[in-house]
Amino acid sequence: MPENQVVTAIEKSLAQIPLDIPLYKRLKLAIEQAIQTQAFQSGSVLPGERVIAGSLSLSRVTVRKALSLLEQEGLLSRRHGSKTEIGSRVEKSMSTLTSFSEDISARGQVPGCIWISKQISRASSTEMMALGIAGNANVIRMKRVRTANGLPIAVETSVVPVRFVPSPDLIDQSLYTVLQDRGFMPERAVQRMRSRAASADDAIHLNCDPGAPLLVTERRCFLADGQIVELCETRYKGEVYDFVFELQR
């Protein structure tokens, strides 16, 4: 979207914000409203502080404070020396078993992946215990960057026994599509979640700073007969992923 259209969308939203709110918070709310009403899409680039300040007759301090608040909430992504992008937050329900591609598609975005490695190898001791397989069993180990609209939001490592998928060449974008076609679609999963700081390797793949907060899930997926079909660790950028739980008494 051209800069003038972005500024116009923000200006229209700003006119609707009550005047008794501090100016930097009004601007923050105006940009937030424009994002939520999809006046501009995730991944769009905002004009610079100078352009926004000049177009809206605001000080750059006011603009900077508003953008900082939005960045803290994950609605914007800013890095030193780079442009400011609209964030692409994704909601992940913890009550249903869905693939990454299904989650992203449900948000109206285009899922994708960048392969880091995809190979057959001997299972590690940890993988043997987690998957319930013998010590001499081979697995397919896949590591990839998962993207939404071309933006990296997670690093995923999946391990699948070769009896379910005999060759890594069968997998293009979606592992679950292959499992479904072969009659091994998972029926349930056990998942745990923790936080960790991004390593230097994570930072390269996810385009974030080393030490940035990540949400890490470890999931074991089961067939209807109890066999474990997949062990998966996914490291999500904390600023773009929301996990939603439904609780009942």
The residue range of the domain holding 53 is: 3-86
Residue 249: inside a domain, yes or no?
no
Judge if 32 and 132 occupy the same domain: no
Residue-wise pLDDT for 182-240, tens only, equals: 999 999 999 899 999 999 999 999 988 899 889 999 999 999 999 999 999 999 887 67
Judge if 122 and 223 occupy the same domain: yes
Judge if 81 and 200 occupy the same domain: no
Residue 161: inside a domain, yes or no?
yes
Judge if 194 and 114 occupy the same domain: yes
Judge if 113 and 226 occupy the same domain: yes
Query: 51, 86, 121 — which closes off a domain?
Result: 86
pLDDT at res. 133: 93
Judge if 106 and 128 occupy the same domain: yes
Judge if 161 and 205 occupy the same domain: yes
**Nearest CA-CA partner of 116 in 213, 208, 48, 205:** 205
**Nearest CA-CA partner of 101 in 45, 140, 158, 44:** 158
pLDDT band at 151 (very low <50, low <70, confident <90, very high): confident
Residue 198 · residue 177 · CB < 8 Å: no
The domain total for the chain is 2
Query: 35, 60, 86 — which closes off a domain?
Result: 86
**Which of 6-10, 90-94, 141-145, 193-197 is the most confident on average?**
141-145
Provide the CATH number for the domain around residue 213: 3.40.1410.10
Cα–Cα distance measured from residue 127 to residue 138, given in angstroms and rounded to the nearest whole number: 10
The pTM score is 0.64
Judge if 169 and 207 occupy the same domain: yes
Judge if 118 and 156 occupy the same domain: yes
Judge if 96 and 127 occupy the same domain: yes
Judge if 105 and 69 occupy the same domain: no
Provide the CATH number for the domain around residue 57: 1.10.10.10
Write out the H or E segment, with its range, that includes residue 231.
strand 228-237
Partners of residue 115 on adjacent β-strands: 144
Residue with tokens 């605001």: 58
The share of the chain scoring above pLDDT 90, in percent, equals 45
Query: 86, 108, 141 — which closes off a domain?
Result: 86
**Nearest CA-CA partner of 135 in 166, 161, 99, 100:** 161
Which whole-number Å values give the CA distances from 143 to 35, 136, 174, 192, 210, in the listed order? 32, 22, 13, 19, 19
Judge if 167 and 70 occupy the same domain: no
Residue 163: inside a domain, yes or no?
yes
Residue 139: inside a domain, yes or no?
yes
Residue-wise pLDDT for 24-36, tens only, equals: 999 988 887 777 6
